[in-house]
Amino acid sequence: MKIYSVKSGDNLYDIASVNEVLEKDILDDNQLSGSPDLVVGQPLVIRDSFKRQVTVNGYAFPYIDYDVLNATLPYLTYISSFSYGANTDGTVSLIDDKNVRDMAIGSNVAPLMVVTNMDNNGFSSDVAHSILSDESISDKLIDNILSTVKERGFAGVNVDFEYIYPTDKDLYNNFIMKLSNILHVNNYILTTALAPKVYADQPGILYEAHDYNFHGKYADYVILMTYEWGYSYGPPMAVAPLNQVERVLNYAVTEIPSEKILMGIPNYGYDWTLPYEKGTRAKSISNIGAIELARSKGSVINFDNISNAPYFNYTSDGTEHVVWFEDARSISAKLNLVSKYNLGGVSYWQLSNMFNQNFIVLSDMYRVRKV
């Protein structure tokens, strides 16, 4: 701890930035609240700032609960507003995310515009192909993205194109290069979201068009979607097993500058019925909801040391269930990888459910970069 004396012209944001601590920490440690009126000469207790600084992104839907959003914003560098649809005529489908953007900016969190190739059925290979294969349409889309960024006060763009046809890989790379150049000329940033690959030519429509090396050159940050090993239509397992996440990172750092990598962390779990039958759907559950469910069922929460993830079993109306989720132990294990691989930081999918344990662990281990 140290004592800082308020100087003429000081504000809370500047003091926090100079001392490399969170505004929230200054408020808490000095029993202050809101936007306090500081007095010249007033002493403030400041925490030591030896913790490593990391970049933290979180995805948010425009309908996120605003209490949850307010509680989360102090721990974020960027908030990625999900999502603006890229249309096959080069236009952009807008969303009503003004409150999210305004609240983010008011908390010194930079909002990013998420652009996806989604249609009414989800991510669309055909939508991506229609855009990427016609240069006039892709150029029009870039112009419309830039206009939206300027008009809505975004700090930049997150491109989340998924299930791109493998034959469109070079076209996608060209689109990313052109978008990167135009954004950077206008002082905006570009982040991209990539599937969790473990080698360059990994087969599958989810992976083949995602070129780690290329994105590492042109994006400011690359978000690795290191989750969904356990997924809604798959067999029961951890959503983001640590051993699988490490396999992705071991490859990623050979292709992307490590300081550009934001490791994806899931903010949810799944509840499967047993015995698992292929084609049946697991139910998504919040981490807090999982703990409450275990408590109500009298279940013992176990911890798998290979995946570094918690799970428990319970019975409902004679049917067996298993739930895999995240807790402080699994989050801590994942966050340790940030230092181990010298990553730029982390990205959360997604912020709808507040999970205090996560952010307590995060703030204990690292300082969140603010822009």
Q: Give the gyration radius of the chain's Cα atoms.
A: 22
Q: What is the pLDDT of residue 327?
A: 96
Residue-level pLDDT at 49: 64
Q: Tell me the pTM.
A: 0.88
- Predicted pLDDT at 20: 76
Distance between alpha carbon 76 and the CA centroid of its chain, in Å?
9
Please report, for residues 141, 302, 323, 364, the alpha-carbon distance to residue 310 in angstroms, rounded to integers and kept in the order given. 43, 6, 8, 21
Q: Which of 50, 32, 54 is nearest to 42 (CA)?
A: 32
pLDDT score of 18:
85
Per-residue confidence (pLDDT) for residue 369, from 0 to 100: 94
Which pLDDT belongs to residue 195? Answer: 98
d(CA 40, CA 362): 33
Ranges assigned E (strand) in the chain: 2-5, 43-46, 52-60, 78-86, 92-93, 110-116, 118-119, 122-123, 156-160, 189-194, 221-224, 261-266, 269-274, 283-285, 302-304, 309-316, 319-324, 345-349, 366-368
Mean pLDDT by 10 residues, the chain (371 residues): 89 86 86 88 82 94 97 97 98 98 97 97 97 98 98 98 98 98 98 98 98 98 98 97 98 98 98 96 97 96 97 97 97 97 98 94 92 88
Selecting among 23, 162, 255, 326, the annotated active-site residue is 162
* 255 in catalytic set: no
